[in-house]
Amino acid sequence: MSTATIVIIAAAALVFLFIIANMKIVPQAHEYVVEFLGKYKTTWAAGFHVLIPFFERIARRITLKEQVLDSPPQPVITKDNVTMQIDTVVYFKVFDSKLFTYGAVNPISALENLAATTLRNLVGELELDGTLTSRDTINAKMTEILDEATDQWGIKVSRVELKNIIPPREIQVAMEKQMKAERDRRETLLQAEGHKAAAITRAEGDKQAMILAAEGERDARIARAEGEAKAIYLAKKAEADGIQALKDAGADAAVIELKKYDALVRMADGRASKIIIPTDAVEAVNRNVLFAETAGLGDVTKPAPEAPKPPKPDYCCDNDPRT
């Protein structure tokens, strides 16, 4: 093989390698900013591209994914002159590769400094308590301000979060004491409310017990009265039924008079009472008594007791000379 042939083959190999070296593949979610003779020419999206050697160059490789900028804690002074350490987290992504490349020398550093100054301005308008309780407000305002300010850099700020708020040690001690006092106050209030509720419950229970006892006594009295009334009614009904039975059996006037007398005896009930008996009732009783004695009926008089017999002499004791 001649020298000329070797040179041609070597030159062809170099050209092939040179062409291969200028073939570029842009990954997904990435963009390449290409310059032609030092001037912006185009932006390559994901895919296969060929770079013209010596005339074109890739000025910047940019990712389109969302990125996180975690700033270190920095001192921030509140409106009431309390210095706190606050660190922020900024979520952003690039929406324009050309503006991101040519808008600022170091867009990430510019965004970090802008977030720090914005945070100082917002916290400086709030007091300590407002700063601790207004995290959502601060996050929303910072997101709005940074998103508007970074449009010229091709950056879209989607979210800003205050990661940590660290007050001074003496403030932390005071806050702990305040928290403890607040918890003690709540505990005292809860205990007082518990005692109050218990007293009210006991009073309500006593009231209900008294009401139920009164209702029970009332129902018992009503039941007793109804029972007594029913007993009287049944007794009278039995008496009426007895009289009706006597009438139905054809009892004469003498039996009826005796029943009347028996009723008067029951009315006396063994007590010392004066009972005025009509004359006709006395005569009827006398006739019935005379009839009973004559016929020997109803004689309940006990016979007179026998006379006691004299005791028999005791010869043993009566003849004793010592008596």
Does residue 137 sit in the same domain as residue 156?
Answer: yes
In the predicted structure, residue 81 carries a pLDDT above the cut 80: yes
Whether residue 113 lies inside any domain: the answer is: yes
Higher confidence at residue 198 or residue 289? 198
Percent of the chain at pLDDT > 90 equals 24
Tell me what pLDDT residue 159 has: 92
In the predicted structure, residue 294 carries a pLDDT above the cut 50: no
Whether residue 234 lies inside any domain: the answer is: no
In the predicted structure, residue 315 carries a pLDDT above the cut 80: no
Q: What CA–CA distance (Å, rounded) separates 120 from 157?
A: 18
DSSP 156-185: EEEEEEEEEEE--HHHHHHHHHHHHHHHHH
Q: Which residues contact 162 (CB under 8 A, 6 or more apart)?
A: 86, 87, 88, 119, 135, 138, 139
> Which tokens in the block code for residue 172?
């932390």
Does residue 107 sit in the same domain as residue 142?
Answer: yes
In degrees and rounded to multiples of 5, residue 285 shows phi and psi of: -65, -45
92 with 155: CB under 8 angstroms? yes
Does residue 113 sit in the same domain as residue 57?
Answer: no
pLDDT band at 311 (very low <50, low <70, confident <90, very high): low
In the predicted structure, residue 49 carries a pLDDT above the cut 60: yes
Whether residue 155 lies inside any domain: the answer is: yes
Whether residue 194 lies inside any domain: the answer is: no
pLDDT band at 291 (very low <50, low <70, confident <90, very high): very low
Q: Which domain holds residue 24?
A: 3-63
Instruction: Check residue 274 and report its DSSP letter.
Output: -
pLDDT band at 248 (very low <50, low <70, confident <90, very high): confident
Whether residue 243 lies inside any domain: the answer is: no
| CATH code at position 96 | 3.30.479.30
Tell me what pLDDT residue 241 has: 76
Does residue 11 sit in the same domain as residue 38?
Answer: yes
Higher confidence at residue 15 or residue 212? 212
Does residue 19 sit in the same domain as residue 76?
Answer: no
Domain limit, last residue, from 63, 93, 115: 63
Higher confidence at residue 253 or residue 123? 123
Does residue 23 sit in the same domain as residue 110?
Answer: no
Higher confidence at residue 72 or residue 266? 72
Domain limit, last residue, from 167, 196, 222: 167
Does residue 114 sit in the same domain as residue 162?
Answer: yes
In the predicted structure, residue 259 carries a pLDDT above the cut 80: no
- Tell me the mean pLDDT in the region 7-16: 78
Does residue 58 sit in the same domain as residue 140?
Answer: no
If one counts the domains in the chain, the total is 2
Does residue 156 sit in the same domain as residue 101?
Answer: yes
Burial label, 193 (beta-carbon count in 10 A; 0-12, 13-18, 19+): exposed
In the predicted structure, residue 232 carries a pLDDT above the cut 70: yes
- Per-residue pLDDT of 160-207, as tens digits, reads 998 888 888 887 787 778 888 888 888 888 889 888 888 898 898 889
Tell me what pLDDT residue 278 has: 57
Whether residue 187 lies inside any domain: the answer is: no
Domain limit, last residue, from 13, 32, 63: 63
Q: Name the E strands within the chain.
A: 23-26, 30-36, 39-44, 47-50, 56-63, 67-70, 74-77, 83-94, 155-166
Does residue 71 sit in the same domain as residue 158?
Answer: yes
In the predicted structure, residue 280 carries a pLDDT above the cut 70: no
> Which tokens in the block code for residue 117?
């100054």
In the predicted structure, residue 4 carries a pLDDT above the cut 70: yes
> Which tokens in the block code for residue 115?
């977030």
Highest average pLDDT, of 19-33, 88-102, 236-250, 268-282, comes from 88-102
Average pLDDT, the chain: 79
Does residue 84 sit in the same domain as residue 112?
Answer: yes
In the predicted structure, residue 270 carries a pLDDT above the cut 60: no
DSSP 13-43: HHHHHHHHHTEEEEPTTEEEEEEETTEEEEE
- Per-residue pLDDT of 137-152, as tens digits, reads 999 999 999 999 999 9
Tell me what pLDDT residue 312 has: 56
- Tell me the mean pLDDT in the region 220-230: 88
69 with 112: CB under 8 angstroms? yes
Among candidate residues 76, 183, 74, the one with its CA nearest the CA of residue 131: 76
- Tell me the mean pLDDT in the region 262-289: 56
In the predicted structure, residue 94 carries a pLDDT above the cut 90: yes
Whether residue 30 lies inside any domain: the answer is: yes
Q: Which residues contact 123 (CB under 8 A, 6 or more apart)?
A: 76, 77, 78, 84, 86, 131, 138
The length of the chain in residues reads 323
Q: What CA–CA distance (Å, rounded) separates 315 from 310?
A: 15
Going edge to edge, which strands form the sheet with 30-36?
39-44, 30-36, 56-63
Tell me what pLDDT residue 20 has: 82
In the predicted structure, residue 317 carries a pLDDT above the cut 80: no
Tell me what pLDDT residue 5 has: 78
> Which tokens in the block code for residue 280?
């006709």
Whether residue 258 lies inside any domain: the answer is: no
In the predicted structure, residue 85 carries a pLDDT above the cut 80: yes
Residue 29 CB coordination number (10 Å): 12
Does residue 72 sit in the same domain as residue 162?
Answer: yes
In the predicted structure, residue 304 carries a pLDDT above the cut 80: no
Q: Which amino acid is at 261?
A: Y
